Chains A and B, each alone.
Chain A
Amino acid sequence: MDNILSNNIRNISKLLLEGRFSTLDILDACMKRIEKTKPLNMFITISEKLAKEQSEKSSIRYKTQKPKSVMDGIPIAIKDNFCTKDVRTSCGSMMLQNFIPPYNATVCQKLIDAGAVLIGKTNLDEFAMGSGTVDSIFGATKNIWGYKDDLDDFHIPGGSSGGSAVAVATGSCFGAFGSDTGGSTRNPASYCGLVGLKPTYGLISRLGLIPLVNSMDVPGILTRTVDDCVYMLNATAGPDPKDSTCVSMPYSPIRIPPAANLSIKNVKIGIPKEYASEYLEDEVLETWNEVAALLENAGAIIKQVSMPHTELSIVCYSILNQCEVASNMARYDGVQYGFRATENSSTEQMYAKTRSLGFNSVVKHRILTGNYFLLNRNYEKYFEKALKVRRLISNDFDNVFEEVQILLTPTTLTTAPLFSDYIKKSNSEQCSQQDFCTQPANMAGIPALSIPIKLSRNGLPLSLQLMSKNFSEATLLAFGKFLEDKVKFPHYVREV
């Protein structure tokens, strides 16, 4: 039963339909795997009771040969910044440590409607502010790659959706939702050897995703294969009248033919030279070159392109991020929900103490600088200027997509760093290096996909990123599937 966990969603669904085992057997296997990998600390809350109920209902549907979709009965995990009705949603923060939402995020509701089984809520950096899944009040999450029981140190899983990534990589579930504002889904996908999709802004509803930067946040998908990613996307994409930034055009489900039938002949692929950062590790650069050569051999046309505003992305992002954070965090005042400090001298004192105790230093730092940038006298100098730079970055993509269909870049500059090295740097330093290749896509809103390629010499995953035009997920995923088939990444679950 254990090796069933390395299977893909399509096969599981088929086997369930054939009655080879029941959804409860799968759930049980997942729960055992979670128990076994507990030291990695990927879950904040395990919703076992709810999962059992959902799984039981699903098994009845399979018995009558009427599953709701290919996702029916499939255990999945959700990052702990998506609201789940009656299941604690903490954002990894003391502020929401005991917050139980009264509603489901649209993503969760759609997954439930498709029959999926929600097994738990995964760890993240507090309010998704980080790239390592190290800044959570529930402690850091550990990467399964390079992990040894007897060592004090470990590799970080990347973040901020590190909990979701490790959950999928260990086979504790078949897919997971993260969120992606500057790379928070693709970064851990890269470090944990997973497929990580950041869909086009507005393709999947943000309702119920507790915001970091509203104008860049998207729900992100973490799976072991591109096909699984497609199923997760098909189950959740499409209009939502409750999210005004979600596009209103109807979504047509993506279907990708078998890899053998795919061809990339004459597809124009751009290699943006500005992504070759000075911090790019040699092994990542090698991988990048190898894959470019591989694609050229398969008939694609490789072109070097220039995106001159790439390096401005990080500094521009840091201003926009902190401004929106300052605003979005204003609601946490201890009045209606969440943590409230014991302080009765005045309402203002209660706010002050609650916020000073309830947030970690990263969050407080961003609130403070964000409010500074938004002051009347600074607004033009910082916020407005950042918006203009954002436009330039977005224009870079528009221009380059006139020439090529797909961009090929690294996802991360390195393989997963050691925890001990990582925490030597400040949060802003961490983010600026971690998000270098992923951040620009969020500025422009375009879809981006991280594909695991191979293992490094010391056994850590190396991944590359594919980017394409707005709403071209079908092309992007098909291309990703082609590449996936060529490189045959050795997934961890298969090695267990």
Chain B
Amino acid sequence: MIISENLWYTKTFFRKWQSVVGLEVHAQIMADTKLFSASSSSFLSSTNTNVSFHDASIPGTLPVLNKRCVEAGVITALALDCNVNMISMFDRKHYFYGDMPAGYQITQQRHPLASDGSCKFIVFTPGIHKSPYMKEVKIKQIQLEQDSGKSLHCDDRSLVDLNRAGMGLMELVFHPDLSDGEEAAALVKELCRILKRVETCSCKMEEGALRVDVNVSIHRCNEPLGIRTEIKNIGSVRAVAAAVKYEIERQIKLKNKGYDVINETRAWDAEKKITVAMRDKEEKQDYRYMPEPNLSPLFLSTGDVHQGLIDIEQLKQSLPELPAKTRERLEKTLELTADQAMILVNDDVLLTFFEDCVKKKELIPKFLAKTLIYEFSNAVNKMNIDPANFLHRIDFVADTVYLMQTRQINRDTALNLFIELLQGNTGDPLQIVTKKNLFQITDEAELELLCKELMNENKKLVDLYRGGKTKVLKAMMGILAAKTNQRADMAKCDQILKKLLNE
């Protein structure tokens, strides 16, 4: 009896687990040089070539703060609606590691650059969500800090590459306002869009330019938050979703079996698609934070600029339109659908085509968006080619859409024109259409003639249709399309053919 009662108990509560997810993101600052030294921050340099004396912590060297990195931090903070602190400070965080040559990392622990921000984003993964929904996450703080080098462990030795050591990072600490992996992934995507838009981080996760740590815990409704685990250094957006999903399920299974979740750091095994405990951080570390004595406090100014200080007000004014704002403008001013706006804003190149084309011709924005999202994207997928290489051929795209909008060509022809473009055709659409005679046949007399011809050539189908099998109409339309080289105005043909068949 007791056992089954327990089972009942468990089953009832199984559905009532709530998961809580928080993110910490390390974003490498897009800057020519490192946070505190003049060595290059290029990703592609060969091992240990971008290492200044300071990066290698040669005794007696001193940090000199890179102004660009501070500006990038402030811009990012403003884009994420944070309070930028007029005075922030740098601290040393101590721990021994081979790729951390000074024995400490310079970071901002006690007085960060910015705090209390927020970010609104859309969560929508087709196949998982039926429709998009809005989510808001609060940001605890943004701090500037140094990146570490990289270690490579071989059998009998460890090798260290200091190229990355000392590069500027922005650490963004989010409140645990998310509830699952899809939300976490959607936040990372939106964050990438924002950072790329304000040009403070390349967000190339494959290069480690953006690294995500997630905190996951579960608890029952109306109970305090559970013990959390941390998953470190997740390397892609989909891995974020998968790792969180796995971890939530793992914790639920543990709890349902009566075990406790322990506070630990785990790693995401992308091959096996599981999280595994990391061994080296079992003991709680005391980082013995201390103010960095070689840097004065970082003062910012607003409006009234003191010499040499960074002006928050000026940076605020130079901020570009942010993704959320673009979506709003596309919907409200240009009357795109919410889906269209979302798709365009998610794709920088497509958005550029859209924004540039809409200025060029008298194109209906909604029609243009639809064409870019379907025909143009279709051509891009078919050719498997980067459309960014064709941004100088805006006119071609605009002209094609215009021909279609004015019904001179149909959708198939438009698709073919885009393919021609991507194959390297340097002509203009009107020339191609004229030369290859691709104009849409819209003349009703001509279309009627064509339909009659079709009926004569396919008596069997006509009989079937008239006998009640109306679905053969589709087959007949297909033949007609092939017959005219896809040129016939199919909408009109549909009407005409139906009329003739029903006579």
Chain A contacts of B94 at CB under 8 A? 326-327, 330, 371, 374
Q: Say yes or no: is A211 at the interface (Cβ < 8 Å to chain B).
A: yes
Q: Say yes or no: is A235 at the interface (Cβ < 8 Å to chain B).
A: no
Q: Which of A105, A326, A329 interacts with B60 by CB under 8 Å?
A: A105
Chain B contacts of A243 at CB under 8 A? 62, 64, 294
Contact A209 B293 (CB under 8 A): no
> Would you list which residues of chain A between 195 and 224 have a CB under 8 Å from chain B?
206-211, 213-215
A209-B61 Cα distance, complex, nearest whole Å: 8
A242-B65 Cα distance, complex, nearest whole Å: 10
Q: Closest CB of chain B to A343's CB: distance in Å?
A: 13
A242-B98 Cα distance, complex, nearest whole Å: 26
Contact B58 A244 (CB under 8 A): no
User: Assuming the A-B contacts A327-B104, A333-B103, are A375 and B60 also in contact, with contact meaning beta carbons closer than 8 angstroms in the complex?
Assistant: no
Contact A374 B62 (CB under 8 A): no
Q: Say yes or no: is A347 at the interface (Cβ < 8 Å to chain B).
A: yes
The stretch from A17-25, A94-102, A130-138, A146-154 touching chain B is A94-102
Q: Closest CB of chain A to B363's CB: distance in Å?
A: 53
The stretch from B282-290, B368-376, B429-437 touching chain A is B282-290
Chain B contacts of A209 at CB under 8 A? 60
Q: Say yes or no: is B92 at the interface (Cβ < 8 Å to chain A).
A: yes
Q: Say yes or no: is B118 at the interface (Cβ < 8 Å to chain A).
A: no
Contact A337 B158 (CB under 8 A): no
Q: Which of B61, B289, B294 interacts with A245 by CB under 8 Å?
A: B294
Contact A215 B103 (CB under 8 A): no
Residue of B58, B60, B65, B104 with highest tally of chain A CB at under 10 A = B60
User: Assuming the A-B contacts A215-B293, A375-B288, are A335 and B60 also in contact, with contact meaning beta carbons closer than 8 angstroms in the complex?
Assistant: no
Q: Which of A244, A324, A336, A371 interacts with B65 by CB under 8 Å?
A: A244
Q: Say yes or no: is B17 at the interface (Cβ < 8 Å to chain A).
A: no
Interface footprint category on A: 35 or more
A101-B289 Cα distance, complex, nearest whole Å: 29
Chain A contacts of B288 at CB under 8 A? 326-327, 371, 374-376
User: Assuming the A-B contacts A103-B53, A242-B64, A347-B158, are A214 and B58 also in contact, with contact meaning beta carbons closer than 8 angstroms in the complex?
Assistant: no
Contact A348 B290 (CB under 8 A): no
Contact B103 A379 (CB under 8 A): no
**Chain A residue at minimal CB-CB distance from B102:** A331
Q: Say yes or no: is A241 at the interface (Cβ < 8 Å to chain B).
A: yes
Fill in one digit per residue for A77-90: 1 if any B CB lies within 8 Å of its CB, else 0. Answer: 00000110000010
Fill in one digit per residue for B151-182: 1 if any A CB lies within 8 Å of its CB, else 0. Answer: 00000001010000000000000000000000
User: Assuming the A-B contacts A214-B293, A330-B103, A347-B158, are A336 and B56 also in contact, with contact meaning beta carbons closer than 8 angstroms in the complex?
Assistant: yes
A83-B101 Cα distance, complex, nearest whole Å: 18
Chain B contacts of A401 at CB under 8 A? none
A214-B90 Cα distance, complex, nearest whole Å: 14
Residue of B53, B63, B289, B293 with highest tally of chain A CB at under 10 A = B293
Chain B contacts of A492 at CB under 8 A? none
Chain B contacts of A383 at CB under 8 A? 290
Q: Say yes or no: is B59 at the interface (Cβ < 8 Å to chain A).
A: yes
Residue of B57, B61, B158, B286 with highest tally of chain A CB at under 10 A = B61
Q: Say yes or no: is B295 at the interface (Cβ < 8 Å to chain A).
A: yes
Q: Closest CB of chain A to B49's CB: distance in Å?
A: 15
Fill in one digit per residue for B67-107: 1 if any A CB lies within 8 Å of its CB, else 0. Answer: 00000000000000000000000001010101001111000
User: Assuming the A-B contacts A335-B160, A348-B96, A379-B289, are A245 and B102 also in contact, with contact meaning beta carbons closer than 8 angstroms in the complex?
Assistant: no
Fill in one digit per residue for A99-116: 1 if any B CB lies within 8 Å of its CB, else 0. Answer: 101110100000000000
Chain B contacts of A245 at CB under 8 A? 62, 293-296
**Chain A residue at minimal CB-CB distance from B54:** A242
Contact A102 B103 (CB under 8 A): no
Contact B294 A103 (CB under 8 A): no
Contact A101 B60 (CB under 8 A): yes
Q: Say yes or no: is A351 at the interface (Cβ < 8 Å to chain B).
A: yes
Q: Say yes or no: is A323 at the interface (Cβ < 8 Å to chain B).
A: yes
Residue of B65, B160, B290 with highest tally of chain A CB at under 10 A = B290
Chain A contacts of B53 at CB under 8 A? 102-103
A89-B102 Cα distance, complex, nearest whole Å: 18
Contact B92 A327 (CB under 8 A): yes
Contact A244 B103 (CB under 8 A): no
Q: Which of A102, A330, A375, A376 interacts with B96 by CB under 8 Å?
A: A330
Chain A contacts of B286 at CB under 8 A? 375-376
Beyond known contacts A244-B294, A331-B101: 8 more, CB 8 A cutoff: A105-B60, A214-B294, A242-B62, A326-B288, A329-B103, A331-B102, A335-B98, A374-B94
- 18 interchain pairs, CB-CB under 8 A: A83-B59, A83-B60, A89-B59, A103-B58, A210-B60, A214-B294, A242-B62, A243-B64, A244-B64, A244-B295, A324-B293, A327-B290, A329-B103, A330-B94, A330-B103, A333-B96, A375-B286, A376-B289
In the A-B complex, list the 6 residue pairs whose CB atoms are closest, starting with the nearest: A330-B103, A374-B288, A214-B293, A215-B293, A208-B60, A210-B59
Which residues of A approach B to under 8 Å, CB–CB?
Answer: 82-83, 89, 91, 96, 99, 101-103, 105, 206-211, 213-215, 241-245, 323-324, 326-327, 329-331, 333, 335-337, 347-348, 351, 371, 374-376, 379, 383
